[in-house]
Amino acid sequence: MADKEIDRVSGTETTGHEWDGLKELNTPLPRWWLWTFYATIVWAVFYWILMPSWPLVNDYARGIRGQSQRAIVMEQVAALKDMRARTGAALADASLQDIQADPGLLDFAMANGRAAFGDNCAPCHGAGGGGAVGYPNLVDDSWLWGGDPDAIHQTILYGIRSAHEETRFGDMPAFGRDELLDSGQIRSAANYVRSLSGLDTEAGADLAGGEAVYLDNCAVCHGDDGKGMQEVGAPNLTDGIWLYGSDLDTVVHRIRVGGGGVMPPWVDRLDPVTIKSLAVYVHSLGGG
């Protein structure tokens, strides 16, 4: 056996390996590290015996304790489903007013509704319910079809202008496209409508003529005072809230082409408990 070589600088024995004049020192591992390493080996052996660890061809070694994290998780999931089923049954039997009055049911409905809103409603109404052009803002105080919990629930169930036979329906005629009004009458009416909410009108606009056009064609739905009618989803024209925009060109375009947005019915897509939860959550956003 060759004599041991000691490094002159560190005084440590070398391993005999050398690369480009660099010699590897044979520095032993610290005792605490070695004992820790040995302890982990011993612990692993006991773990293999006690706990599931070894894969087999069609199964796995279940260990002496027979513990299964999968089984534990499944039990917890089953318990959670059972709890939700009990609370859901109570929610299904309660009125919307009873839900709002019961802190436990309200917490469950809010959590359930918030999740359902994010999955189903946020793409149109926004994550916070703020809406967008053509999609109603759910956090203001202007509701085309009513903002109390029952009205919201009805809207969610059957939608707006949808294919469901019980849908809410109200359609604005296409006064220009169907040649019910000429372009001059439409522009005068648009200026008059803007004046109802205090917006500026064009210089020289015929507001008197626009009022006459409005009373003959628009007041039947929007009311003589322009306050709107929730029964047919006609918006209030005197506030500062505009679904499609308030500039003159947009108002002219809306009078010309008429129509309205479509909201799908959710009665066949979501269960009754989720729809109730959505009604409670949407009402809580502030606009209710």
- According to DSSP, residue 4 is labeled P
Is 221 labeled as ligand-binding? yes
Q: Name the nearest CA neighbour of 156 among 271, 284, 286, 242.
A: 271
Q: Which residue has the tokens 């959590």?
A: 111
Q: CA 162 to CA 158: how far, in whole Å? A: 7
Q: CA 127 to CA 232: how far, in whole Å? A: 27
Is 222 labeled as ligand-binding? yes
- With b meaning 16 or more CB within 10 Å and e meaning fewer, what string describes 53-73? eeeeeeeeeebeeeeeeeeee
Handedness of CA 224, 230, 235, 240 (dihedral sign): positive
Is 283 labeled as ligand-binding? no
Q: Which residue has the tokens 């061809």?
A: 57
Is 110 labeled as ligand-binding? no
Phi-psi map region of 192: left, alpha, beta (phi>0 left; psi -120 to 50 alpha): alpha
Residue 91: count of CB within 10 angstroms of its CB:
25
Supply 96's token pair: 């919307």
Is 164 labeled as ligand-binding? no
Q: CA 246 to CA 285: how far, in whole Å? A: 24
Is 17 labeled as ligand-binding? no
Q: CA 119 to CA 65: how far, in whole Å? A: 42
Which parts are annotated binding residues for heme c?
121, 124-125, 172, 218, 221-222, 263
Residues at the binding site are 121, 124-125, 172, 218, 221-222, 263
